[in-house]
Chain A
């Protein structure tokens, strides 16, 4: 008698089946669409040690993505054998940079990723309507990567901003960066979203 149960037979790879995919409503951009780039970039802060910038803004019909880029100063003296900087988690759980958006209509949103509170994972609750769609703007990370000198963290914001400017706020106490904001053009994001392209059309029952 073996410890593990026998594996089920491998499915026949020649028999593809529907994936059941449907376009996401709010939690991410559609994988079947090509977002439109927004001509937008801003240096948020620069210290002797690092710089933070926002770029790679992409507009989709149901929201937009952007990248928060961390750039380490390659000239900064460091101990022999020591690596460069940093990435969002270098300061420890809950000690990375805090970011948020403030829209022209007064609504605000902060990073809705989980936090460690008293040793427990805490994910902020988001109010939703009867269809399960948030009734407030949602900002959440959607991956990232990089090396010891540069790191990009991507964010997804639902929905598109209202008309007018929008402020991106950032604070990173661990790196001695006080609360700072840059003003971005929300209209540029809204206009760009109209240029998003459907790559594969969805019809209910297709997938």
Chain B
């Protein structure tokens, strides 16, 4: 008797059904929208061992994504048995801490609570910053984030801190207007009623 039950047959490709997809309001960018890139790269911090870089800012009508790149110094001496910056005896990879201060005074930190304050449509009434995962190697690693909603006009500060890797709390000023303007260039590829 086999351990696994027999698999059900594969679905018939002819039985394609509607997916029921609707555009997300706040928890992520729409999968049916091509976001608009914001030409914005900032070197946030540099140590002998690594650099933190803000990059790949992409604007959508309901928010923006960005990456924090962790770039290892290719010239930093390392032990022969260790391949890169994020390894070492007992190394524990805790991500850098990231947050924003918007021009209207709103502070945005990573928030994963399931009890967010929301309006009658279920949309959070506070700004949200969430990880969207990441990937890379021990020499270069990218962390991706989603921020809802778009920032208000004016300057916005990006804060980063990574004490585990000797990066103190640091801030850089960004142009929120560039993100807002770019969001107007996002392209809706498919509409639900198409």
Contact = CB atoms under 8 A, between A and B. Distances in A.
Interface residues of B, number: 47
B39 A31 contact: no
A72 B21 CA distance: 12
A14 interface: yes
Interface stretch (B8-16, B97-105, B165-173): B8-16
A158 B178 CA distance: 30
A11 B46 CA distance: 28
Nearest to A8: B81
A16 B79 contact: yes
Contact of A199 (B31, B51, B80, B89): B51
Contacts of A31: 71-72, 74, 139-140
A38 interface: yes
B43 interface: yes
B63 to A, nearest CB: 16
Interface in B19-69: 19, 21, 31-32, 34, 36-37, 39-41, 43, 46, 51, 53, 55-56, 58
Nearest to B140: A31
Contacts of B81: 10-11, 13
Given A56-B56, A199-B71, A11 B37 contact: no
Interface in B68-84: 71-82
A41 interface: yes
A80 B11 contact: yes
A40 B139 CA distance: 27
B88 interface: yes
B79 A13 contact: yes
B32 A75 contact: yes
Nearest to B82: A13
Nearest to B75: A207
Interface stretch (A17-25, A104-112, A116-124, A126-134): A17-25
A99 interface: no
B122 interface: no
Interface in B171-194: 185, 187, 189-190, 192, 194
Interface string A177-197: 000000000000000000001
Nearest to A35: B41
A153 interface: no
Interface of A: 10-19, 21, 31-32, 34-41, 43, 46, 51, 53, 55-58, 69, 71-82, 145, 149-150, 197, 199-200, 202, 206-207
30 contacts: A11-B80, A12-B79, A13-B79, A13-B81, A13-B89, A16-B78, A16-B79, A17-B79, A34-B51, A37-B40, A41-B34, A43-B187, A51-B34, A55-B37, A58-B41, A71-B31, A71-B34, A74-B31, A75-B21, A75-B194, A77-B16, A77-B17, A77-B18, A79-B13, A79-B17, A81-B11, A145-B135, A199-B51, A200-B51, A206-B75
Given A19-B75, A32-B73, A82-B11, 11 more contacts: A11-B79, A18-B77, A21-B75, A34-B51, A37-B40, A56-B56, A75-B32, A77-B17, A197-B43, A199-B73, A200-B51
